[in-house]
Structure 1
């Protein structure tokens, strides 16, 4: 198939490049939209008017480059229009504001999180119209808050904090891709609901329908895990699901069933396609069938509240439906690219959404690898053949999605074939039963029977998924998959597919080159991890402390006992960097030290020596001056009281002071000013992020370089 049959594939890549450049690098941020629009028109004029219509074939690429630049510029223009005020705020914005809730409220442990579109500032506070902010309302005060509420609130809006630890999840960058530049906390009594005017009436209507169905599920006896899974699978509502259920499905490789996506919309599509087979007798009836299919999948999207993941899947399926009914040669890649382009036109931020990337990666895997995998085996038995077809779909989807999934989750489920067979069987029945319940939920007795069946099916699926997750060798953990490795693996899959299955022998050299580059990357990373020697003092908030001593692939992470028991915070702060460095989990409390596990590490109480670097951790303000100050390389200060700097210097002779976030900002400023005058270097973790020291170079690594 030549590229001419896939014009939207090329258009998508050019457009996505424009979105990527605008969001990630803030390019063209200061360029006027009128100038960009003029540039697009100028490039199109050059391509179609100034360039000769019949130029030699060897120069035809010039026209393609010009058109490509026009599409890239269009991507920039659309992104700027979607995020008009992104990254324009650099300082605090304090005052009273009027805004409308533009997302469904999401509950956390102590707050309710909502996205709010600012309408105006009150009391001379200047804001940009339609600027998006993220607000955290005190939980006990917002029981009635809902989508479309117009809220008058007082708070301090500020840019979100950047990531404070190497390779940790960057929440600021995450919000940036969603067009949010300011966040704020609204205490109880600092807001008032003045009206309800949904930004999108259709979304508001869809959310209200979903609320009624969720209430009907509870009314008809679904509780606990069964209710949480039913809400997630049938309606895409996962706010009430606990971490244990998520962990079970993740380890079994079935997490995708809990996120309403292409699988769920595909089930609705296949069920309706089967029911409407009688309309295949004429061209007019086929058109009617296509319209009914579109109506069905969009009605399901409406029931799920038009969540972004459902919108992506529904748009994708819609293009497939239309493509199947158009009497012309179809190309699956072109159809997928067309749907992806449509979604980016609607919201350019989808390009950076994990669900968007995984959805299209899995579908591309199915389109590319399903038939070759299916043809590997043949079963005369009809049932076995169906099972093998389902297995082939799972394998193809994993081939497509695995590199992206490994990048984000560092995990590969080894029993995914078993779990996916369970999921495919139960999800189709559960989704169909759930849709039946949604239709008849207003009929008391009948809805109760259907809810009972739904609850039983979910209970059985949960049990089987948990059993799969408990099987030995249930997954490969701690996978380090940076984007360069993701790209190389995809290139190997692509070149191997063209060489082995399409018999295109000119892909031998590209395939071998990609494999060689991957081997070089793995060897370089292996050498770096074996020879590394680092000390890392993490930033884990005011209440916690954590320091990691790394010698090759041996390491010991020391932290306070409270942090040691809070796996969620510890994982958020340290796991990504630990995986990058190729380290296993080895965490200990300061109160129970075992330094024998790491060569060249010694300690006694608050005194620690590693690779000739001595340090003392000071957690209180009492010092006892001695005749001659004890020489140490570093002093790590923590606590909420101002230490006596003069007595500290009489007790210890040191070169560097590291300030923990538990020290108040005002005290940290005084300590820095006082010690800097005496020639002591001060590093403030609360301001500058984690302290990373490379023993080989004998210097700390700038935090931005670590990332």
Structure 2
């Protein structure tokens, strides 16, 4: 549904400059002083007020664009100010501004245990300096390697040493940027603790409502376990119905991701919509009474927000609850409302509350998907006109899936680098199982304590989930089920959205300039992708990866590569660091080579300790492979020290090498010693084990 006039969608008009202001503060001056936007906001606001008083004398009504422009400027700087105020690094009382001895923190979310490490976010509300306490603010990510830390809970207050550090950037190309992810959550520091380094001061000091919601959710998760037996089904039920993802396996996540149904595992708009449909049916009889519509709306909103509470007030559910609540209120008290305007209003108020929602992938996906349904679905639905009732209903469902997938495709490609080919089949397949699971789950949460009924509902819930998982697994392993390794630049990401919006708008309005814009954008996208591909094909590189305690060297020749590593391609570190880099370079053929193996290819020869790649020579020095002294005239480009070689920098002075590479597989003490020696002797060296990876172009 596209509005006929912008007056029908005022919040859409307000939202655009407001988001632009947030984006400006986020990308160009995240830690800048707030004075500039405040001054600009004040001047624009005063000018706007003055023009309203002088509306007639200055004949402003003849130049309406002046007032509109000023309003957009005001909203732009309001968004900038909103972000600057929310960014904790801009606050003068942030805990990092003072050198403290200890921190007093309060756990602000539900602690998660993984491989013996308990991780949670905490609010630092006091620091201790010389025995005195000072009030501060700020968030801190804490990881505790201690089995007793499993007893910690939301709201517990701890005292810890002030040994925090800045979250590090990604070390390898194309690696997931955890630093940016945490900064988008307003977290900039982290701390690792071990037994005896923390002390519990008080329990249950957090928000009582959030504490109750988290405990209620944990109680309901245990309730699922009482009458269900399959761990995978229990994990999916807990995730799908309650938003509890701690027990979800990677295999299940992969099946849902590759089939384009990952949205099912995020309790959001679709789940709240199913609850709304059920409540609308149950309370429909109230419409017959005088104040029935108001009572029905109040009851539905209360139950929806109660559901948001038992899911732990997750951001996705809260977004959906706000959106649905505003739709309910609008439908109850107005005969003709714009769903798009309500959608924009909910986004506007949520961004006022937390401007960093704008960089949250879930926020972007949910609002884009709903916008696609509101704007694009009617256009897609008109592509075909089926006379048969059930064929028309089936096409209606298909149009919903197509509209949502098309509008979210650039975002999914940009963040997740894949496209599910059979998304239409998988989304149609899960409609009935998801509805059965959701409604059975709601009934189970209410009636699960009834002996026979609870067991029956648990059985139906478990079998429905197993059927859905089995079906999605079959689709996942079907031929050509997923297009992987889609890596697009921000420019290509923007061009994709220009193409999608302009093309659909052309289908709606049939204006020639929209078609021209679509074709020009498609040409620019094709040129950008082609140039990127040509650059990758014509570039030969040696990349020394930073894999901590592992070895990793990538010899890239066009779209082929040999990887010298001690990691298997199924290893988590390989998939996280090496695989993503190869995919981003569009490497089609790859070969893993062990450090002790030899090989001969068209562009690389490894014989013992020596590697020849194009015109570059690498000499490996380690304690397993003792090197023989090379010929006097052999120029070594890279001397690669790995696995704690029994040597020092001085003993290597007879080797004619250009760059010393100190690998992360060496012990920390040896790396420190070699670093100090290299610095003292003015040797050109790199340390991918401790610092970022390094890439050298060999052609």
Q: State TM-score, norm by structure 2.
A: 0.92
Q: How does 1:372-521 map to 2 (within 5 A)?
A: 372-521=379-528
1:162 aligns with one of 151, 154, 169: 169
Following superposition, the deviation at residue 601 of structure 1 comes to: 1.7
Once residues 88 and 482 of structure 2 are traced to their aligned partners in structure 1, the CA distance between those partners, rounded to angstroms, is: 43
Q: Secondary structure at the match of 2:88?
A: coil
CA pair 460-78 structure 1, distance change in 2 beyond 3 A: same
The 8 Å contact of residues 615 and 635 in structure 1, kept in 2 or not, is answered as: yes
Does the 8 Å CA contact 1:269/1:293 hold for their aligned counterparts?
yes
Aligned: 1:96 with 2:97: no
Residue matched to 1:276: 283
Question: Which of 357, 360, 365 is the equivalent residue of 1:353?
Answer: 360
Kindly provide the CA deviation profile for residues 484-503 of structure 1, in whole angstroms up to 9, marking residues without a partner as x: 22211111111111212322
The residue that corresponds to 2:191 in the other structure is: 184
* Secondary structure in structure 1 of the residue aligned to 2:89: coil
CA contact (8 A) 1:600 1:611 kept: yes
Q: Mean alpha-carbon deviation: is it higher for 236-245 or for 5-14? A: 5-14
What's the counterpart of residue 44 of structure 1? 45
Q: RMSD of the alignment, in Å?
A: 2.7
For 1:638, the equivalent position in structure 2 comes to: 642
Larger deviation: 469-478 or 91-100? 91-100
Distance change in 2, residues 1:633/1:283 (3 Å): farther
User: Pick from 333, 337, 349: which aligns with 2:340?
Assistant: 333
When residues 58 and 568 of structure 1 are mapped into structure 2, their CA distance, relative to the original with a 3 A threshold, is farther
CA, structure 1 residues 623+528, in 2 after alignment: closer, same or farther (shift >3 Å)?
closer
Q: Distance in 2 between matches of 1:490 and 1:253?
A: 19
How far apart, in 2, do the equivalents of 1:90 and 1:665 lie? 28
| Secondary structure in 2 matching 1:602 | strand
* Partner Cα distance (1:59, 1:517) in 2: 37
Query: Do structure 1's residue 527 and structure 2's residue 529 form an aligned pair?
Result: no
Structure 1 counterpart of 2:623: 620
Q: Following superposition of structure 1 onto structure 2, how do residues 554-573 of structure 1 map, counting pairs within 5 Å?
A: 554-560=560-566, 563-564=567-568, 566-573=570-577
SS in 2 for 1:148: coil
- Aligned partner of 2:224 in structure 1 is 217
Q: Which segment drifts farther, 310-319 or 633-642?
A: 633-642
Deviates more, 1:125-134 or 1:460-469: 125-134
Contiguous gaps of at least 5 residues in structure 2 = none
Is the aligned partner of 1:71 residue 2:63?
A: no
Structure 2 CA distance for aligned equivalents of residues 129 and 678 of structure 1: 45
Decide which of 608, 611, 618 is 1:608's aligned counterpart: 611
1:106 counterpart residue number: 112
Counterparts of 1:496 and 1:107, CA distance in 2: 47
Helix, strand or coil at the partner of 2:515: helix
Larger deviation, residues 383-392 vs 677-686: 677-686
Look up the SS of the partner of 2:376 in the other structure.
helix
Q: Distance in 1 between matches of 2:638 and 2:98?
A: 35
Question: Counterparts in 2 of 1:105-254, with a 5 A limit?
Answer: 105-124=111-130, 129-154=136-161, 156-254=163-261
What secondary structure does 2:169 align onto?
Answer: coil
In the TM superposition, residue 357 of structure 1 has moved relative to its aligned partner by 1.1
Aligned to 2:294: 287
Distance, in Å, in 1 between the alignment partners of 2:603 and 2:382 is 57
Cα pair 1:363 1:397 within 8 Å, conserved: yes
The whole-number CA distance in structure 2 between the counterparts of 1:645 and 1:441 is 70
Structure 2 CA distance for aligned equivalents of residues 248 and 422 of structure 1? 14
Q: Deviations over 1:605-659 (max 9, x none)?
A: 2311112011112223966657837431111122346732222222x21111122
Aligned residues: 689
Per the alignment, do residues 208 and 585 of structure 1 end up closer, same or farther by CA in structure 2, a change over 3 Å counting? Answer: farther
